[in-house]
Chain A
């Protein structure tokens, strides 16, 4: 193979500018995915707490009614927050999918 011709072409071609790739997710700060998983773990925690309180009520243990209601409301509030985060995320993804390229 005649490599001389290739090197001649390479020499003639202008040097291609090197485009630096953006640094993906610096490891110092927790990524969005990690935060999402943490938030979901908290939702799961509060829903488990509500579960435990309800079980105690069902078993006839002396649980003050406000304890049960507050634990359930906390679980509901956490779930709503997670739902809203999910809605925003999904909206963003759908916007990106609709983008004309």
Chain B
């Protein structure tokens, strides 16, 4: 059914949209040296997985869904800057553990997957419209 393809493509676009949102949050906090609990911002990674129409292993895959957001525990980048208000006793400031290049790569990949889902939807729509032409006199 065309509705199924639309739903699957929509789930893919939803997940990739949220992935880019996570990347944007990481990039926005690239210099956040202190959060509410006193630690620097920790990078977030969106984890997604397949969604099934029914019982696992018995039903076909019906798209994808967000399983959760993992907070990175990697140590952050340390910079010697005693004048910084967030510097510790040794004069080091801990910056977030966000991998700038990695986030850009993730963003590009997510945007490509988003486009691929868009293409899947457009093809499904074209097929649907072709099907409506069956038996048409025009």
In the complex, whether B135 has a CB less than 8 A from a CB of chain A is yes
Is A70 an interface residue when CB atoms closer than 8 A count as contact?
yes
How many A-B residue pairs have C-beta atoms within 8 angstroms? Tell me: 32
B121 contacts across to A, CB distance below 8 A: 70, 73
Q: Indicate whether B83 reaches chain A with its CB closer than 8 angstroms.
A: no
Which applies to chain B's interface (DSSP): helix, strand, loop or mixed? helix
A73 to B2, CA, bound (A): 11
Q: How many A residues touch B, CB cutoff 8 Å?
A: 12
Contacting pair B6 A64 (CB below 8 A):
no
Residues of B within 8 A of A77 (CB): 2, 125, 128-129
Do most interface residues of chain A lie in helix, strand or loop, or is the interface mixed? Answer: helix
CB-CB contacts below 8 Å: B66-125 with A? 114, 118, 121, 125
Whether B6 pairs with A80 at a CB distance below 8 angstroms is no
Q: Beta-carbon contacts of A60-101 to B below 8 Å, as 1s and 0s?
A: 000010110010011001001100100010010000000000
CB atoms of B10 and A70 under 8 A apart: yes
Shortest distance from the beta carbon of B56 to any chain A beta carbon, whole Å? 26
Contacts of B132 in A (CB 8 A): 80-81, 84
Q: Which residues of B contact A74 (CB under 8 A)?
A: 3, 6
Which of A67, A70, A74, A80 has the largest number of chain B CB atoms within 10 A? Answer: A70
The 8 A CB mask of B2-39 against A (1 = contact, 0 = none) is 11001001100110010000000000000000000000
When the two chains form their complex, are residues B14 and A80 in contact, meaning their CB atoms are under 8 A apart? no
Cα separation A88 to B129 with both chains bound (whole Å) = 16
Given A77-B128, A84-B132, A84-B136, 4 further pairs, Cβ under 8 A: A64-B17, A66-B114, A67-B14, A70-B9
10 contacts between A and B (CB under 8 A): A66-B10, A66-B13, A66-B14, A66-B114, A67-B10, A70-B6, A73-B6, A77-B2, A88-B135, A91-B137
